[in-house]
Each structure stands twice: as structure tokens, then as C-alpha cells.
């Protein structure tokens, strides 16, 4: 599996050692999986500019560093939709496994700091979406949870989640 998205320096992946960070990268002759229909198209090139895939086609010509991808399968970045981590050092590990996006559930203050850092820099971390603090019943068991006594209080809880910049509410049963 080839993976480049989110990398800020070419030394982040041993196979890319020697490639220049910030320089376009052309990965040649790979098989590309299309997750929409499950097809695999062989002998494709992938052009990566500014850390983003800008083109996938056969026989791309570009002023770029070239990485021979023969025998490799290119996959889209995966998402882990239920992550509980408070350890910043764990974030690059997701990237090494091809997980380019994660959804944090539980909405701790450290996650807001991470969101701010992601917006302000090219931090070596997956894209992140953040759930709100837990929206719970009238007597929540976790500190920082949002108490909701009845259905009438639900809309106010959702508005609070959105006002706190959560991407989605984190409900419990």
C-alpha cells in the first residue's frame, strides 16, 4: 500500500527517503482501488502535489520526483470512526497504517487544542473530526457530559454541541 496524504516530510515513510519534501511526487505503475465500485485499475500513475493527490491516470508526465510503484496497490485513506486517544504521540501511528482521518468521541479539551494546531500548521497527524462531550441522561456518569432530562432539552443540547465547534454530538443510550 502506498500512502502519502498528510505527510509533511518525505522521511516520514522509509520508502520515500531521499525524496524532497514539498516537491511534487509521481508514483508510477500502481494498481488503484476505487472504493466506490471495488474495481482495481492497473498501470496507473499518481501525482501528489502539496501533500494532495492531484491526478490519477495512465502515463502522467510531470516535473516531479518519481517513485516506482510497480507491484503496489494504492488505496484511499481510511477513516477510524471511533477513536479514544489523549496521547499526541499516537497520531502518526494512524498515518503509518493508512488511516488518514479519525473521529474522536468524547470531546475532551485536549482535542480542541489539537484542532487548533491542525488548522494552524502542517502537523503530521490524520485529519480529525471531533464529537461533542457525551450527551447523556439527567444524571450523567462522566464529568463534562451534557445532561438532558427529556426530549424537549435535546435541541438545546445539539445547539450547545454546535456552538462548542463539535462536528457531531456524542449520544449515549
pLDDT tens figures, 110-167: 888 888 888 887 777 888 888 888 899 999 888 888 999 999 999 999 999 888 888 8
Domains held by the chain: number: 2
Name the residue range of residue 49's domain: 10-74
What percent of the chain has pLDDT above 70? 86
- E-only strand ranges, 34-145: 40-49, 52-57, 65-68, 73-74, 78-83, 99-104, 127-136
Per-residue pLDDT, averaged over 53-77, amounts to 92
Confirm whether pTM is higher than 0.75.
no
Q: Same structural domain for residues 65 and 95?
A: no
Asked whether residue 4 is domain-assigned, the answer is no
Q: Same structural domain for residues 70 and 86?
A: no
Contact, 135 vs 98, CB < 8 A? no
pLDDT at 124: 78
Domain boundary among 39, 74, 109: 74
Q: Same structural domain for residues 161 and 134?
A: yes
Higher pLDDT, 53 or 62: 62
Q: Which grid coordinates belong to 43?
A: 498501470
Asked whether residue 3 is domain-assigned, the answer is no
Q: Would you list the DSSP string of 98-125?
A: TEEEEEE-S--HHHHHHHHHHHHS--SS
pLDDT at 21: 60
Q: Same structural domain for residues 60 and 102?
A: no
Amino acid at each position: 500500500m502506498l500512502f502519502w496524504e498528510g505527510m509533511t516530510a518525505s522521511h516520514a515513510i522509509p520508502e520515500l527517503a531521499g525524496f524532497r519534501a514539498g516537491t511534487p511526487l509521481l508514483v508510477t505503475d500502481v494498481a488503484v482501488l476505487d472504493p466506490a465500485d471495488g474495481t482495481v485499475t492497473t498501470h496507473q500513475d499518481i501525482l501528489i502535489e502539496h501533500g494532495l493527490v492531484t491526478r490519477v491516470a495512465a502515463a502522467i508526465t510531470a516535473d516531479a520526483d518519481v517513485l516506482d510503484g510497480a507491484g503496489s496497490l494504492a488505496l484511499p485513506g481510511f477513516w477510524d470512526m471511533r477513536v479514544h486517544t489523549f496521547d499526541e504521540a499516537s497520531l502518526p501511528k494512524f498515518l503509518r497504517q493508512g488511516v488518514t482521518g479519525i473521529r474522536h468521541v468524547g470531546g475532551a479539551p485536549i482535542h480542541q487544542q489539537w484542532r487548533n494546531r491542525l488548522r494552524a500548521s502542517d502537523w503530521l497527524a490524520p485529519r480529525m473530526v471531533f464529537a461533542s462531550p457525551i450527551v447523556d441522561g439527567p444524571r450523567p456518569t462522566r464529568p463534562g457530559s451534557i445532561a438532558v432530562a427529556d426530549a424537549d432539552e435535546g435541541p438545546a443540547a445539539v445547539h450547545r454541541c454546535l456552538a462548542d465547534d463539535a462536528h457531531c454530538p456524542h449520544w449515549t443510550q
